[in-house]
Amino acid sequence: MEHITHVLDDIRNKQESRLSHIEERLDKIETRDSDEIKEQVKTMHQDVVSELKNDLSKLVDDRCKEMSERKNREMNIVVFNLVEPSQSDGELNKQEDITAMNAIVNSLGLENIEFAAIFRLGKKTLF
């Protein structure tokens, strides 16, 4: 019986040793995997932050550009359906446009309005 007890103790000790060794290996794997995961998360975080900064910078630049364009256009007046001048001479046509714009401004009760530029948009239409 003593021999059986001794053999069982040996088996138990070997099993405990093997189990301890397996636990150590598992701890090493968990630590290694944890470090790798932490590094991957850190890298992903840096990438996301970088992309967000770039996107935000682009958005701010676009918004500033839009605001600048609006500032440049804030004094513009667009008139629709103004009859095309009938002259073939470009200067005479421009003078007719100036006269038409002055008539519109005067009909609104505005006086002494100076136009920086007057020009037509789009193709010339023939009615």
pTM across the whole model: 0.47
Cβ–Cβ < 8 Å for 66, 58: no
**pLDDT at 3 (0 to 100):** 81
**pLDDT at 126 (0 to 100):** 63
| H or E stretch covering 30 | helix 2-73
**Residues in the chain, pLDDT under 50:** none
**pLDDT at 127 (0 to 100):** 55
**pLDDT at 61 (0 to 100):** 96
Residue 91, SS3 per DSSP? helix
| H or E stretch covering 104 | helix 90-107
Joined tokens for residue 26? 């598992």
